[in-house]
Every structure is written in structure tokens, then in C-alpha cells.
Amino acid sequence: MITVNDRAYRLPHKPTVVVCVDGCEPEYIAQAVAHGRMPWLAQVLAEGTALVADCVIPSFTNPNNLSIVTGAPPSVHGICGNYLFDVASGCEVMMNDPKWLRAPTLLAALTDAGCSVAVITAKDKLRKLLGHGMKGICFSAERADDTTIDEHGISGVLDLVGLPLPSVYSAALSEFVFAAGVQLMARAKGRFGRPDVMYLSTTDYVQHKHAPGTEGADAFYAMMDDYLGRLDAMGCVIALTADHGMNAKTRMDGRPDVIYLQDVLDSWLGARTARVILPITDPYVVHHGALGSFATVYLPSGVDAAALVLRLQGLRGIESVRMRADAAAHFELPADRIGDVVVVSERFTVIGTSAARHDLSALDAPLRSHGGVSEQRVPLIVNRAIHDIDAQRRWRNFDAFDLALNHAQ
């Protein structure tokens, strides 16, 4: 038994795999199952445990992956977006360095307790955060050609997996994660052998482009089903969840439905009086144009934040506007790492900074994105029947390890 962030976990008896399917709106699974493309999962849904859980807000990748591996919300682990506005320096800084992490991960605690652990991510941006303090294998598909025993706990990944290095903007990047997971699990037990616990985290390239039930989406889920079925056949306990959902964010003409919040605030308060931060912004913006349904706003002293909240609430397409303390309590966020005001937009709407700062020319499909409360519902599925489960409680994606280790062995 180990305790991490005030939650107790049993050590696994069976090889255990937790999968975070990036951008997996539950509808993707429903459509692929209905189309007969996920035979393994259809059986798990019938005989195992199938819940719908809430992810953490903002419904972005890094905060949720860190919640899943710490078993705690961002108020505990500190990672509340890809970007942080450092008020002292006036700079926007990336939050993908482990120095921003405020809590230990369960993965590190498992290796301390003698378990062998493997972490495979699609993009390299998550690798250092997830692998912080952990002694096992941790690498990304994006940089699978460049792993060393010292840094990643493994070398020769391309030979092991037998697939070429995938492009960072491709479905193949996620497939590589599953293929590598199956190869690691197929090894004999022992040093550098089969992991006791594996965490697989994909990328939402496909979900940003393809709606549930379309061929592009169904083909992705069929691929995933095949690999998960192979892990199941090896005797793995598998818990599947997602970092967030995904929705179309378009107007009737197919163009993105954007509230350019910096432009709005500039016109209300004067140019650059307020500072809008979009924590979705990261170096990989091609598929979403840095547009999501969550923003935080920093205000200089002297601006009446309460009055501004009321005025913002009146904007079409805005779902909720909260002052810092309210937002921190309601969304379980670290109050010192969000702005004075937190703005969430509705299901079909995204928030931008200034129109001039978003290059939408690279969007080659109608915008689909996330970040808001409208993308909070995610699957939480375990390939074992769990009988003592309360289907009425509010399950979270960061209960995945609890279910896998404490209830499904």
C-alpha cells in the first residue's frame, strides 16, 4: 500500500495499463462501437466497468494528464495550462518544466515502491512532467529516435516497435504509443522487462480534425481497439480515460466562432490595459490555431473587476465569468497561477486574444477544440467488472489509477 497526495493505492498483482486518450469525447467511442469498429471495447462496455467522468478545467492536455498521474486536481499539482503569466517579469512562460509541479506523481511513488513503470507519451512536451522523479522508462513517440538509457530508461525504441518515426501531426503518432506499449508488455518479466504499470498518453490530432462517427475518427478508434485487445489478451488490467472532450467550434459558414477577448477589453478599457492569457497556446498550434474555450485575464489595479465580470457575462457565447478566488474554488485551480478573472466560453465558441494574433490559415478543417466546461465529460472505462461502484457519484478522470489498482486487480 502506498499513499500519494492523500490517496492510498495497492500495488498491482497484474500488469496494469492506464490509457489517456487525448480529446476522447465519449461520442467518439459511441459512434465507433455502433459502427462495429471497436469489437474489444464493445465487449468491455458490456462486461466491464463503463463510467462517464469529469475532467479538470481548463479542459486541456497538461493539467489533465498531471491530474491523472497525481490523482489530484490542479490546485494540488499546480499545472493549470501550457502557459503561465509571470506577473513579476511580465512574461508568458511555458509550464512544461517539472519545476512548476507542486505534488509528487503516483508513477514516481510506484517506482520508489519497487514497481517497474513505463510511460509513453505522443508529444515530447508532456514527457518531463510525467516522468518527474520516476526511475523507469519514459519517452515520447515524437522523439522515439533519440532515447538513451540514462535519460529515458530505454534505447533502440524504433527497432523495438518496428515502425518509422511518426510525424508530430499525424494519427501515427498515437499509434506509435500503443504499438510501443504492446511491445514493452510482450517482454519477459525482469530487469528492462515487462512493466508492472504502464501509462500511455496519445495526442488529439485526429479529434481536432474529425468529428465522431466519421471515417477518420472511426479508423483511429478501430486501430486503438486492436492494440488494447492485445494488451487485454496479455492479462493486463486496463483503465481508459481522457484528458478532455472535443467539440465543433464553428459558425454556420464553417469558420471558427471566436470571441477576440483582448480586442473586446482593449475597446472597453484602453489598449493593453488588461492582459488575456490563453493557456491552450503551445508550440503545436496548427490544428487549433491556439483557440480554446478558456481564458484568464490579468487586470491592473484600479480596474473594477467585479463590474468587468458582469459586463463580460453579457457577451454572446460566454458561458461563465468568475473572479480569481471564485474560479480557484469552483474549478480547483491554483489561485496564484490564474488571472484576476477566468472566462469560459460556450460549447460552439472559442476565445482568442486579438484577431491579428491568430493565424487561422493553417486550419484545414472546420475548427474543433476544447478548454471549456462543455468538454468536461470523458470516458472512464475498466476492462474488469467492479461491483462496489457508485455509479451516481461524480467520477473524475483522475480516479483512473484508483479504479485500476484498488478495485480491478
Chain contacts with Zn ion (rule: CB under 5 A): 22, 61, 204, 243
Distances (CA, A) of 409 to 108, 213, 387, 388, 402: 20, 33, 12, 13, 11
Residue 315 beta carbon to Zn ion: minimum distance, rounded to whole angstroms = 24
Residue 23 beta carbon to Zn ion: minimum distance, rounded to whole angstroms = 5
Residue 142 beta carbon to Zn ion: minimum distance, rounded to whole angstroms = 14
Q: Which residue is nearest to Zn ion (CB)?
A: 61
Question: Which C-beta is closer to Zn ion: that of 363 or that of 405?
Answer: 363
Question: Which C-beta is closer to Zn ion: that of 243 or that of 346?
Answer: 243
Check the CA dihedral 182-186-191-195 and report its sign: positive
Distances (CA, A) of 406 to 71, 111, 115, 378, 391: 13, 17, 15, 21, 16
Residue 331 beta carbon to Zn ion: minimum distance, rounded to whole angstroms = 17
120 and 200 Cβ atoms separated by less than 8 Å: yes
Question: Which C-beta is closer to Zn ion: that of 123 or that of 132?
Answer: 123
Residue 87 beta carbon to Zn ion: minimum distance, rounded to whole angstroms = 27
> Under 8 Å CB-to-CB from 90, ≥6 apart: which residues?
none
Question: Which C-beta is closer to Zn ion: that of 341 or that of 344?
Answer: 344
Question: Which C-beta is closer to Zn ion: that of 196 or that of 375?
Answer: 375
Residue 243 beta carbon to Zn ion: minimum distance, rounded to whole angstroms = 4
Question: Which C-beta is closer to Zn ion: that of 362 or that of 385?
Answer: 362
Cα dihedral 145, 236, 118, 197 in deg (nearest 10)? 180
222 and 316 Cβ atoms separated by less than 8 Å: no
337 and 327 Cβ atoms separated by less than 8 Å: no
Alpha carbons 73 and 114: distance in angstroms, whole number = 26
